[in-house]
Amino acid sequence: MTLLADAILIVHLLFVLFVVGGLLAIWVGALLGWRWIHNFRLRAAHLGAILFVAAESLAGLMCPLTVWEDLLRGEDAGGAGFIQRWVSRVLYYDLPESSFTALYVLFAAVVAVTFWKLPPRRQGGKN
């Protein structure tokens, strides 16, 4: 079960990198004229991902990936391996829930404004 929990932790990290890194890549791509930043499916998935995070936080729900990882780790949660410890340090912080909710909602707003100001295009160049 630990291997599956580690896999979920890695998926969680990749999700965070997609949301946070995706916004940075879109901004850099806009400055450098990269065409892929206008890909509608990618941008819709990016906006949907952060809206999901903000909505679950506003509803007071825990991230399903965190819940599944915790369930799989069971009593072994303290016996973390090297990679698990470092990935966990990147993903998890000991702050009040309201801090995370505010951060997620603010980040979702920035992604939404970016979506509006640098709009994606549907295939064929139509908006």
∠ CA 54-56-61, nearest 5°, is 140
Q: pLDDT confidence of 99, banded at 50, 70, 90?
A: confident
Q: pLDDT confidence of 82, banded at 50, 70, 90?
A: very low
Instruction: Specify the DSSP element, H or E, that contains 91.
Output: helix 82-91
pLDDT of residue 110: 98
47 touches 111 (CB < 8 A): yes
pLDDT of residue 78: 53
Q: How far is the C-alpha of 12 from the C-alpha of 120, rounded, in Å?
A: 25
Mean pLDDT of 73-90: 60
Domain boundaries, the chain: 2-125
pTM of the model as a whole: 0.82
Mean pLDDT of 61-67: 88
Does residue 127 have a pLDDT over 60?
A: no
